Chain A
């Protein structure tokens, strides 16, 4: 019996967008150079759409512009580069042989576990250089600015070289960070949520383009729906800058189209179960819902579960790389996902923290904002992304 299985088949990839932002004053390290080169190439390749690009560039902060789904070039390399697992420390020579950090993030969640793996990679590489990095990486079970406030208060009392914060609520946390900096504590922000504009924190490593991520995902949704229909927005934690920015990006995009309407905006507080319940309720209120914009990692999973259960035709666009969400993407329940490079966020956070601990300021050694990329992937990309992130070879 001859097997019908075709060996060595590689799924084809069609990338909607790979957003590469670099609005920070960073040193031109290799990754940035590559990123810039990719942007340049994209510019050249899209020269034919110059007019549209200029108009869109004026209307938003985006550096690259997405083309229509149908016209996307197949680019396996870009998908493979959505998360960069191959990092090397830069040439900076730390001044000490031991650093002790404290990091706190919004909530216990697999997204930040992915960031932790990048941190551990950097820690191992420093150890190979003979430099011992120790740190705490702590979060509450549910996102809470109050909890974060307490944690920072406790951490401030200890002699950490740097305190890193994934801001739970910029309004509440930013002033606290300012106070800590004023009292001589070296503070940085990381992962997906920076502090409020003007905060004295020394630097930020993470997603600097949350608003644009929300706008891009929503734009894809609008195109899919023919720029008309009812849309719900699921946000994560109240006040979490990344979630709020994405929600704003989504709302602003929808507002551009007269035939589109936002029927609900709900917060799941980074809980899949809550996202599921909220989606069920939204569907109950609007059974003919056309689409859902999900602004965090838990939203798309909860929404997809509810959509599947209710057999709704609502189109889901969302964020991040949850394994279940990727399976929903593969099955066509979710239309597209914006995958952030968590690994790089973690790795770069440790590198920048070491430099900050040594008394360096943003400038030549590191930018004030180290940007990490987001890549939007579609159904045809899901299998490879599952393989890339989870080794899930089907």
Chain B
């Protein structure tokens, strides 16, 4: 039992503090590690997200143009059918009909071309061979898409279809066409993404058709002229071939400290490439912003949790300490109570036989150590207790015991009084009590004499003191006890 360390308040507090620091250190380290991992994962994700995002965006925009083209072709075919069904004998009637189908089918710059390459629109009739390059072809086979550079820097997409069975004003007509302004197509494709992405339409030669800036480096310049300065020759060649062959692809290049990624996809049948560019820093910033915000939130949560836990732990610690103090105090009280109960006579409230024995042991050690020379023992025995018990009952007997106890205690104020038996008391006297022992015994005996007359409590007294050769208090006790019996007999 002595080998085990005692758990003290200090131990509890120390354990709690070290435990808390350890937990906090673990949480902090975990947070830092998570932040670092998030950063690495963010970087890895940026490239993939950029490409994926751009591919999807380029694809979507490419499809928009393809749908627009197909829709215009369909509308042109309907327009031809509508005009075929009309009786058109003059240029005015033709213009009127062209105007009708234009508004009905929402066709922009719809025109018909006769066999002499005369072009008929809603308002004009003109010789069109030099103006519309597709008319130079001997025969138009099926749908034709061409890009037209218009004087004044605007560019248009010309969509033409043959009209083999169309005869108007007595003349065979060979084709019809619409011209879509590329700027209108750009407007259709543009959406407000707050300048995060850039897009441009290119010819196979890298000429910018859309008049839009593909980021801060390529701008509106020829794609391949600029690319030559920012990528290796191999990369340039690869992408040039992709454009030539109408394939898709992507390029990533550094601009200062940031990285730019662009993706391009071919637009069906046009010979165009749709390029979309995004600065990786935009995605990185966005992801970092989200990531930082999450980390910050987590950090705040962790701090909040830590503070809460610490507060709670502190409160609990104090509560625990208080509780343990209370428990300890209670324990002590109980122990004291038990001890008191073990050493106290329940009837009289004075120390009992057990207490006497405990004291006897201590005194014996002192006697044997030669530390005590003066100690006296007085034995008092109540006369007639059995008679009172038998005659007047135990209550009267108990009262008699209490009266006897009071009597003894009254006289041996400077001694330790013990009830060592039913009607027997012992008093151990040391110091002043020892010095006045005989005087007090005389006074008590005198009192007893009076009590006999008054028919009150009577106690027979015997006493003795430590003598040479006594090894134990018991020796003193036995002499006192013998004396008491003898006096009682007498």
Contact = CB atoms under 8 A, between A and B. Distances in A.
A63 to B, nearest CB: 27
B88 interface: no
A114 B154 CA distance: 12
Interface in A376-394: 387-394
A139 interface: yes
A4 B150 contact: no
Contacts of A110: 130-131, 151
Nearest to B150: A117
A389 B129 contact: no
B254 interface: yes
Question: Interface size for chain B: under 10, 10 to 19, 20 to 34, or 35 or more residues?
Answer: 35 or more
A76 to B, nearest CB: 16
B151 A393 contact: no
B246 to A, nearest CB: 22
A390 B131 contact: no
Interface stretch (A32-40, A130-138, A241-249): A130-138
Contacts of B131: 110, 113, 116
B124 interface: yes
Contact of A3 (B125, B152, B230): B230
Nearest to A132: B123
A185 interface: no
Contacts of A4: 229-230
B222 A137 contact: no
B231 interface: yes
Contact of B126 (A1, A138, A391): A138
Contact of A138 (B95, B127, B208, B253): B127
A84 B164 CA distance: 40
A155 to B, nearest CB: 12
Contacts of A1: 230-231, 253-254
Contacts of B129: 108, 141
Contacts of A343: 151-152
Point out which of B127, B229, B255, B256 has the most chain A C-beta atoms below 10 A from its C-beta. Answer: B127
Interface in B221-264: 221-222, 225-226, 229-231, 253-256
Nearest to B124: A135
A391 B130 contact: no
B150 A5 contact: no
A136 B125 contact: yes
B118 to A, nearest CB: 8
Nearest to B123: A134
B127 A108 contact: yes
A131 to B, nearest CB: 11
Interface stretch (B19-27, B211-219, B342-350, B439-447): B211-219
A327 interface: no
B132 to A, nearest CB: 9
Contacts of A329: none
B152 A7 contact: no
A4 B256 CA distance: 11
Given A343-B152, A389-B153, A393-B221, A5 B230 contact: yes
A114 B226 CA distance: 31
6 contacts: A2-B254, A2-B256, A3-B230, A108-B127, A138-B126, A391-B154
Interface in A81-115: 83, 85, 108-110, 112-114
A123 interface: yes
Contact of B226 (A3, A113, A132, A390): A3
A134 B220 CA distance: 37
B64 to A, nearest CB: 22
Nearest to A137: B126
B125 A394 contact: no
Point out which of B95, B129, B153, B231 has the most chain A C-beta atoms below 10 A from its C-beta. Answer: B153
Given A2-B256, A7-B219, A343-B152, A135 B123 contact: yes
B238 to A, nearest CB: 16
A354 to B, nearest CB: 14
B490 to A, nearest CB: 130
B130 A108 contact: yes
A3 B230 CA distance: 5
A79 interface: no
B186 interface: no
A387 B208 CA distance: 11
B104 to A, nearest CB: 18
B153 A391 contact: yes
Interface in A1-52: 1-5, 7-8
Contacts of B225: 394
Point out which of A3, A108, A113, A132 has the most chain B C-beta atoms below 10 A from its C-beta. Answer: A3
B301 interface: no
A342 B151 CA distance: 10
Contacts of A114: 151-152
Contact of B130 (A7, A113, A138): A113
A124 B153 CA distance: 19
A141 B128 CA distance: 10
Contacts of B91: 136
A358 interface: no
A156 interface: no
Contacts of B150: 117
Contacts of A261: none
Contact of A133 (B123, B219, B253): B123
Contacts of B220: 393
Interface string B96-135: 0000000000000000000000100001111101110000
Given A1-B254, A109-B130, A134 B124 contact: yes
Contacts of A323: 149
B155 interface: yes
A382 to B, nearest CB: 14
A120 interface: yes
Contacts of B124: 116, 119-120, 123, 134-137
A4 B227 CA distance: 10
B207 interface: yes
A112 to B, nearest CB: 8
B207 A139 contact: no
A343 B150 CA distance: 12
Given A3-B229, A112-B130, 7 more contacts: A5-B230, A85-B152, A136-B124, A137-B124, A140-B127, A389-B153, A391-B153
B123 to A, nearest CB: 5
Contact of A7 (B123, B127, B153, B216): B216
B153 A3 contact: no
Contacts of A117: 150-152
